[in-house]
Amino acid sequence: MWHDIFIRLQQNKLRTALTGLSVSVGIFLLIVLLGAGNGLIHAFNHNNQMFSTDAISIYPGYTSKPFKGWKEDRNIKFDNIDVDNTAIVAKSKVKSTAGKLTSSEKTASAHQHYFKTTLYGQSPEAYNIERLSLAKGRYINELDLKEQRKVVVIPDYSAEETFGSIEAAIGDYLNVDSVSYQVVGVLESNGNKGQSRCHIPFTTYRTIFHSGFDVPEIVVQTYKPEEDESFEVLRAAWCKSLGARHDFAEDDESAVWISSVAQGAKEQNLALTMLERALWVVGLLTLMSGVVSISNIMLITVKERTKEFGIRKALGARPWAILRGVLAESVIITLFFGYIGLVAGIAATEWMNVVSGQQVTEFLNFRFYTFLDPTINMSVAFSALLTLIIAGLLAGFFPARRAVKIKPITALNAK
């Protein structure tokens, strides 16, 4: 049987080569397309890890309409009571809240090294809300707030450039605008080098900069941020509570700004899902070209060999003996050329990974990956190859089964 199969393949070299080419190209393009799509998806998922998707920021704004005798264009100012009320009005949906203070650009120095920095007045809750991570030391704690300690947490690259190493920074002192702070912690920057952002206790910031009781930003950590209805319920509750306390209409959108990272992330996830589905559709249609090719070649092969089948049956050959030869020929063509396309596709994705697998774009002091690890799971690649083999079997089975059922005399007279 194997001898006959290889003889027939050698006698129809061009037809076999063209069929095999379509099979190889089909699986090759599927793997390359899925690999490229994964490169975009992996980059997006990596970038998302830098942001807390369960965090919401609330900013005061300016009123855009008169309310209860107040004129429009009135500046709204938040305070500590608003921070507490933000959690109270939505207990079941809010994990924690914290006020956040932000300075203008400052000059920091230590050991004759200088750098520009922005100081953030933070509470301990900010560590989880903003999804921060420590490389060394600790973050701001409640005792720091209570005693208004002059301590600071700095990014890792500032520690290395100023103190020589992360370890050396802990316990040393950093001067910011003639005020000395002891370094108690170093934050991981994950390669996002930009303007330094240093964190000091919320109460210390207020005392040093005489900022009063104003809170320019409230950060909130929520439950189930992926639910649109949950976010809208929170927005409405906060606008109503803040509006009642500061005398502005709860539907005045410019009086308070509420920003959710989760909302933008969800829209981007939807776009990526659509992209992934589109790549699968294009890839599967390309793979179908290989299926169509193998189907056509088996139809032609069976039709050409109808007389041969009749002679074999007349000589006593069983239908299964004839059928298995046709199926084996289909499997050989599909498996051999499909494997070539599989190897070529994997090699192409690995080449993409080496050449452009870690493309980075810098934007607003952050480093974002635009393309990362454009490879696919091997199970997907072998599943595509298995699909082609099954399609080849089915393509050869039905016409061959019909041919072997024909009576020998009818088969011999076939044209």
Residues lower than pLDDT 70 in the chain: 47-53, 190-195, 224-229, 261-268, 357-370, 403, 408-415
Phi, psi of 331 (to 5 degrees): -65, -40
pLDDT (0 to 100) of residue 182: 96
The gap from C-alpha 350 to its chain's centroid, in whole angstroms, comes to 20
User: Across-strand partners of 119?
Assistant: 198
Instruction: At 309, list the tokens.
Output: 């089948």
- pTM of this prediction exceeds 0.95: no
- Which residues, 6 or more positions from 98, have their beta carbon under 8 angstroms from its beta carbon? 83, 122, 123, 125, 126, 129, 202, 218, 219
Please state the domain extents for the chain.
Answer: 2-50+265-412, 55-261
pLDDT of residue 364: 46
* Dist. CA 30–CA 38, nearest whole Å: 12
Q: What is the pLDDT of residue 308?
A: 75
Residue 179 has a pLDDT of 93
Write the DSSP assignment of 182-218 as a string of letters.
EEEEEE--TT--SSEEEEEEHHHHHHHHT-TT--SEE
The whole-angstrom separation of Cα 233 and Cα 249 is 17
Q: Are 360 and 369 in contact (CB under 8 A)?
A: yes
List all residues 6 or more positions away from 192 whose beta carbon is below 8 Å from its beta carbon: 50, 365, 366, 367
**DSSP β-ladder status, 366-372 and 134-137:** unpaired
